[in-house]
Structure 1
Amino acid sequence: MPLLLLSGYPKSGKTHRSQQLIADFTARIAASSDPRIQRLKLFHVSDDTLALDRHAYATARAEKDARAAFASAVKRELTRDTIVVTDGMNYIKGFRYQLYCEAKAVQTPNCIVQVGTQPPQCREFNEAALREQSKDSPPYEPEVFENLIFRYEEPNGMNRWDAPLFAVPFEDEAPDFQAIWDALVGVDGKAKVVKPNAATVLKPATEQDYLYELDKSTSDVIAAITAWTADHPGEGGGSVKAGEELEVELPMNPPSLPQLQRLRRQFIQLNRQHNLSKTRVKALFVTYLNDAFES
Structure 2
Amino acid sequence: MPLILISGYPSSGKTYRSQQILDFFTRKISESEEPEVKRLKVHHFDDQGLGLSRDVYATARAEKDARATLSSAIKRVLSRDAVIVADGMNYIKGFRYQLYCEAKAVQTPNCVVHVGTPPDKCRVLNEVALKTATGGYEPEIFDNLVFRYEEPNGMSRWDSPLFTVPYDDAEPPYEAIWEAMIGSEGKAKVVRPNTATVLKPASDQNYLYELDKTTSEIVAAISAWQQDHAGEGGDEISVPGAETKILLPLAPPSLPQLQRLRRQFTTLNRQHSVSKGRLRELFIDYLNDAFQS
1:159 alignment counterpart? 156
CA distance in 1, matches of 2:163, 2:62: 30
Does residue 201 of the first structure (1) align with residue 207 of the second (2)? no
Mark the CA change 1:275 to 1:244 in structure 2 (over 3 Å): closer, same or farther.
same
C-alpha separation between the residues in 2 aligned to 1:43 and 1:213?
A: 38
Tell me the amino acid that sits aligned with residue 171 of structure 1.
D
- Are 2:41 and 2:81, in contact at CA under 8 Å, matched by a contact in 1? yes
Using the TM superposition, give the Cα deviation of residue 221 of structure 1 relative to its aligned residue in structure 2, in angstroms: 5.2
Q: Secondary structure at the match of 2:56?
A: helix
Quick one: structure 1 residues 275 and 115, their matched pair in 2 at CA, closer, same or farther if it must change by over 3 Å?
A: closer
Q: Is 2:19 aligned against 1:19? A: yes
Q: CA deviation at 1:62?
A: 1.9
Assess, with a 3 A threshold, how the Cα gap between structure 1 residues 15 and 244 changes in structure 2: closer, same or farther: farther
Farther-moved stretch of structure 1 (220-229 vs 92-101): 220-229
* Structure 2 counterpart of 1:173, one-letter code: A
Please state how far the C-alpha of 1:246 moved relative to its aligned partner: 10
Contact 1:129 1:138 in 2 (8 A): yes
Q: Pick the aligned partner of 1:219 from 213, 216, 220.
A: 216
Where does structure 2 lack aligned partners over 5 or more consecutive residues?
232-236
- For these two proteins, the number of residue pairs brought into alignment is 274
Match of 1:179 in 2: 176
Amino acid paired to 1:20: Q
Residues 1-295 of structure 1: pairs in structure 2 closer than 5 A: 1-132=1-132, 134=133, 137-203=134-200, 205-220=202-217, 223-224=220-221, 227=224, 274-277=271-274
**8 Å CA contact 1:130, 1:140 repeated in 2:** yes
1:2/1:83 contact within 8 Å kept: yes
Q: Distance in 2 between matches of 1:270 and 1:172?
A: 36
1:196 alignment partner, SS class: coil
Q: 1:104 to 1:144 in 2, by over 3 A?
A: same
| TM-superposed deviation, 1:108 | 0.7
2:119 maps to a residue whose letter is P
Deviation by residue 1:117-155 (Cα, 9 ceiling, x = unmatched) = 1111111111112222x2xx3311101101111221211
Do the aligned residues in 2 keep the contact of 1:200 with 1:280 (CA within 8 Å)? no
Return the TM-score normalized by structure 2: 0.78
> How many Å separate the matches in 2 of 1:245 and 1:9?
31
The separation in 2 between residues aligned to 1:229 and 1:66, in whole angstroms, is 37
Q: SS of the residue aligned with 2:73? A: helix
Q: TM-score, normalised by structure 1?
A: 0.77
Tell me how far apart the structure 2 counterparts of residues 246 and 74 of structure 1 sit (CA, whole Å). Answer: 33
Could you tell me how far apart the structure 2 residues matched to 1:168 and 1:269 are? 32
Which residue identity is paired with 1:25? F
Residue pair 2:12, 2:122 contacting (<8 A) in 1 also:
yes
Identity %: 59
Query: Does the residue aligned with 1:208 lie in a helix, a strand or coil?
Result: coil
Tell me by how many angstroms 1:38 deviates.
Answer: 0.7
Kindly state the Cα deviation for residue 165 of structure 1 after the two structures are TM-superposed.
1.0
SS at match of 2:11: coil
Decide whether aligned partners of structure 1 residues 231 and 111 sit closer, same or farther in structure 2, where only a CA change above 3 A counts.
same
What residue identity is the alignment partner of 1:37?
V
Deviations 1:202-254 (A, max 9, x none): 35552414334334344335535754685599x9xxxxx9988899x9998x6
Q: What SS class does the counterpart of residue 45 from structure 1 fall into?
A: strand
Q: Secondary structure at the match of 2:91?
A: coil
Task: Tell me if structure 2 keeps the 8 A contact 1:203–1:276.
Answer: yes
The structural deviation recorded for 1:63 is: 1.6
Q: Which amino acid aligns with 2:116?
A: G
Amino acid in structure 1 at the alignment position of 2:154? G
Kept in 1, the 8 Å contact 2:9–2:89? The answer is: yes
* CA deviation profile, 1:145-195 (whole Å, cap 9, x unmatched): 011112212111111111111122222224440110111011212333411
Contact 2:204-2:273 within 8 A present in 1 as well: no
When residues 143 and 49 of structure 1 are mapped into structure 2, their CA distance, relative to the original with a 3 A threshold, is same
Is contact 1:210–1:275 with CA below 8 Å preserved after alignment? no
